Structure 1
Amino acid sequence: MTLLDLTRPATRSERLDTLPVAVIGAGPIGLAAAANLLERGIDVVVYEAGDRVGASIREWGHVRLFSPWRVLVDPASRRLLEAAGWKHPDEDRLPTGAELVEQYLEPLAALEPLASRIRLGVDVTAVAREGMDRTRTAGRAATPFLLRVHEASGEVEDVAARAVIDASGTWRTPNRLGSNGLDPLGLDEVADSVTHALPDVLGRDRARFAGRRVTVVGAGHSAANTLLALAALAREEPETSITWAIRNASAVRVTTSDDDGLPARASIGRRVDDLVHAGRIEVLDRFEIVRLGRAADGGVRIVGSRRGELVDHEADVVVNATGFRPDLDLLREIRLELDDVVEAPKRLAPLIDPNVHSCGTVEPHGFAELRQPEDGFFLVGMKSYGRAPTFLLATGYEQVRSIASWLAGDAAGAAKVQLELPATGVCSTSLDGSNGCC
């Protein structure tokens, strides 16, 4: 940790070179960024809001990934681990989120030099330049970054950094339930009956869903994952009823072709379709939520627009599986150039447009596509994809390798981005070995 020291005699440009790089988030991409930087001899501090590494992944740890182990381990992290005697898991096996954390992230974070550079329970709530808001330009690139951090103990402090890599992801900022991007009217009244995406339906959250009327909102693989789990629960708890609310005529994101490079992913759409055709899942298509409220029986009254008419639907539990968005509030004083549509870095956005690309068709990219007008600041990992749902861990690892090369002064290494991906979307999640997010 480097506290602000405005009294030291060094000039700002000299001082900048003595500071560490700040990495926000101790998930797979944040830890990979740290490993790549340390391999390059660059000091780093990792700030993680959770009390353990991989905090967000732990929340969906029951889910099995699409991707096998062979593409889930960052090369620099692997070199660090294997030097300490770590054995790579079976390369063809698909781990759960919990296994990814326990067998990879935890051993990596426990190694020196990483362990002493990870600060857990520390939430970065703002990033700026020392003594400068976003309107000041003179000397900006030579001025250290300032991060305002909140400790779990309640202490607040400002720390300085040479550069900032924001790998904080999007898990904590789900999209809104309303099709207009806003919370539906009345949400506050029934907020206790609305859950985050990917609940552990067959495990720790079982009691909340068993024998209840459940409505899943969203047309992606997170929704499909939950629908499959609910269908499995309904076989054991027949009173469980399942409704799938989507705003389009069909859920195109979970419709996959038979020649998908990952058979596990290809099966999801077919399995959900089979359940719909069998009458085990009711579909509310072309349904846009307008208002929520408390039903007479204590459940949730969902008023929606469907084919131009207002209709009522009732549920006991609503699952928000509408996707995620980046939290940009902490970056209000940072100069960013983001795409108007998906809120990704402007040079990256055309490469990841979900209307055109799946995970496997995204071109390799790195420093050049991720650089911002704020010199030394980078969005990486899932957060770099903004609202696009097509992120792949292997892509994020190449991002941070390229950025570490640039920060080390290796322009050629930063520019030489290489990544081989299967020509398929390997971006979402399911159960029992059926797919994965990374």
Structure 2
Amino acid sequence: MIEIEQFTTQSNPAGLPVVVIGAGPVGLAAAAHLAERGLDFLVLEAGQQAGASIAQWGHVRVFSPWKYNLDAAARRLLEADGWTAPDPDWLPTGAELIDDYLAPLAKRLGERLRTDARVTAISRLGYDRVRTNGREQAPFLIRLHDGRELRARAVIDASGTYLSPNVLGASGLPAHGEQAVADHALPDVLGGDRDRYEGKRVLVVGAGHSAATTLLALAQLENTPITWAIRAGDAGRSYGGGDADALPARGALGTRLHALVESGRVQLLTGFFTHRVNATPDGVEVVSRDPSGVEQSITVDRIVSATGYRPDHSIASELRLDLDPILGSTRALAPLIDPNQHSCGTVPAHGVDELAHPEPGYYAIGVKSYGRAPTFLLATGYEQARSIVAALAGDWEAAREVHLDLPETGVCSSSLAEAQEQRVGLATGISGGLLALPLATVSASGSCCG
């Protein structure tokens, strides 16, 4: 077990630990790199366990095999304790990702990981955002939900975006009345949530893999009419690369969804811009109003909002952040991940230089670092963690030698309206960048288990 150094009240940042916010895959990867370099650290997790957000969709199987899901430093730390890596070609569920990787890693970190420790604010000790002189010498002050305050030499924010989903409304604003009726993405419709959906009229809103995952699961329920609503004029982008995808499970996702639409099992509504949600005696009326003012509506019993996620930077409001006004990533990272330019394996490797803010020592990594860009890969988050920890250790040569060997896969199109993210690894869509297939529909090539 790693030895623990207790927090002190000292004001000298050099003697304080690095605080990592979030115990998901990228946060624990950062912790593993910190441990490997002998840097003192503490991981603060808002939930009751490592991977708390992943536990919300533990019933879902991810579409990339284990060999793409493990951070190198985390693996070395675990193997030194006798851990054996899972079958590299097996596609784990969210629950397996926790049980077979994150939970053993959390145990290995011991008391350096604290659960039920939700961060509500980050500042500099004695400094608000305006005060400058001596700022860089002041330690970070981290306030928790229960009033406790901790000090740190640096902060790595890997808290993700799962708790800040995008709204149902099509203009970036909540649709009128949506708060009371929309369910979060990836409900367990074949398990614990089955009674909420079976035999009901269900509307799924969203064009990504989370929407596709839910639609495929709903299609297995009898007497359950399903409608799928997207803003685009067609669903070509959602169907993806099919047989050309190097990750067969991801290709199968789009192929099977396309077949359900063609057969009529799923009714597809295109050009649907959710504007208003009304409770009626017959159910919930969902009204679309497109940019020209044309309305269409559908009445259902349940709505699943699978519209993606956005970062919440409010805990760092007293820090000096340089955020891109469009994406909400760092300004330097934005042109590298802009979804208007990058949609098919073109996001380059990046690290500490692209993730730095005017507030030295504060970094947001993982899916939160990408803001609203839907091009994040889990392997990219691991490389971010490696680079930043190297910089904190003073190894700037290693920090700036960023690399990411991820071959392009699938079919790329010059039309951004038809393109989709096609890089090997875990893509974006749910917490930590994990996209998935329903548990009952996936088999892993070369694996022994169904």
- TM-score normalised according to structure 1 size: 0.91
Alignment of 1:330-409 (within 5 A): 330-358=315-343, 360-409=345-394
Aligned-partner Cα distance in 1 for 2:62–2:407: 15
* Contact kept? 1:403, 1:414, Cα under 8 Å: yes
Q: 1:411 aligned to 361, 373, 396, which one?
A: 396
Q: 1:186 aligned to 157, 177, 202, which one?
A: 177
| Percent identity (aligned) | 54
Which deviates more from structure 2 when the two are superposed, residues 418-427 or residues 361-370? Answer: 418-427
Alignment of 1:140-289 (within 5 A): 140-150=135-145, 155-188=146-179, 191=180, 193-233=181-221, 237-238=222-223, 240-257=224-241, 258-289=243-274
* Contact kept? 1:65, 1:435, Cα under 8 Å: no
What residue in structure 1 maps to residue 418 of structure 2?
none
Alpha-carbon offset, residue 358 of structure 1: 4.1
Q: Once the two structures are superposed, what CA deviation does each residue of 1:6-59 show, in whole Å capped at 9, x if it has no partner?
A: xx5xxx5xx110000010000111111111011111111111010011000111
SS at match of 1:156: coil
What residue in structure 1 maps to residue 281 of structure 2?
296
2:164 partner amino acid: T
Aligned-partner Cα distance in 2 for 1:252–1:38: 45
Which deviates more from structure 2 when the two are superposed, residues 375-384 or residues 63-72? Answer: 63-72
Q: Once the two structures are superposed, what CA deviation does each residue of 1:343-378 show, in whole Å capped at 9, x if it has no partner?
A: 111211222222333474321111111111110000
* Contact kept? 2:160, 2:311, Cα under 8 Å: yes
Q: 1:77 aligned to 74, 97, 105, which one?
A: 74
1:206 partner amino acid: R
* Contact kept? 2:320, 2:359, Cα under 8 Å: yes
SS at match of 1:232: coil
Aligned-partner Cα distance in 1 for 2:47–2:438: 25
2:289 partner amino acid: S
What residue in structure 2 maps to residue 88 of structure 1?
85
* Contact kept? 1:4, 1:158, Cα under 8 Å: no
Alpha-carbon offset, residue 389 of structure 1: 1.8
Alpha-carbon offset, residue 259 of structure 1: 2.2
Aligned-partner Cα distance in 2 for 1:256–1:247: 17
Aligned-partner Cα distance in 1 for 2:215–2:239: 14
Alpha-carbon offset, residue 3 of structure 1: 5.9
Aligned-partner Cα distance in 2 for 1:183–1:252: 26
2:191 partner amino acid: G
Aligned-partner Cα distance in 2 for 1:46–1:245: 40
SS at match of 1:80: helix
Gaps of 5+ in 2: 410-421, 428-434, 445-450
1:58 partner amino acid: A
* 1:30 maps onto 2:27 in alignment: yes
What residue in structure 2 maps to residue 135 of structure 1?
130
Q: 2:63 aligned to 61, 66, 69, which one?
A: 66
Aligned-partner Cα distance in 1 for 2:29–2:344: 19
What residue in structure 1 maps to residue 99 of structure 2?
102
Aligned-partner Cα distance in 2 for 1:252–1:157: 50
Aligned-partner Cα distance in 1 for 2:217–2:368: 27
Q: Once the two structures are superposed, what CA deviation does each residue of 1:190-223 show, in whole Å capped at 9, x if it has no partner?
A: x1x3210111111111111000010001111111
Aligned-partner Cα distance in 2 for 1:265–1:38: 34
Which deviates more from structure 2 when the two are superposed, residues 88-97 or residues 301-310? Answer: 301-310
Aligned-partner Cα distance in 2 for 1:102–1:359: 32
* Contact kept? 1:359, 1:391, Cα under 8 Å: no
Q: 1:17 aligned to 9, 14, 18, which one?
A: 14
Say if 1:133 and 1:252 are closer, same or farther in 2 by CA, change over 3 A.
Answer: farther
2:361 partner amino acid: G
* Contact kept? 2:168, 2:178, Cα under 8 Å: no
Say if 1:435 and 1:282 are closer, same or farther in 2 by CA, change over 3 A.
Answer: farther
Alpha-carbon offset, residue 274 of structure 1: 1.2
Say if 1:360 and 1:326 are closer, same or farther in 2 by CA, change over 3 A.
Answer: same
Alpha-carbon offset, residue 186 of structure 1: 1.9
Alpha-carbon offset, residue 4 of structure 1: 6.9
Alpha-carbon offset, residue 267 of structure 1: 2.2
* Contact kept? 2:333, 2:355, Cα under 8 Å: yes
2:436 partner amino acid: T
* Contact kept? 1:166, 1:380, Cα under 8 Å: yes
SS at match of 1:185: coil
Alpha-carbon offset, residue 157 of structure 1: 1.4
Q: Once the two structures are superposed, what CA deviation does each residue of 1:327-353 show, in whole Å capped at 9, x if it has no partner?
A: 111111111112222211121122222
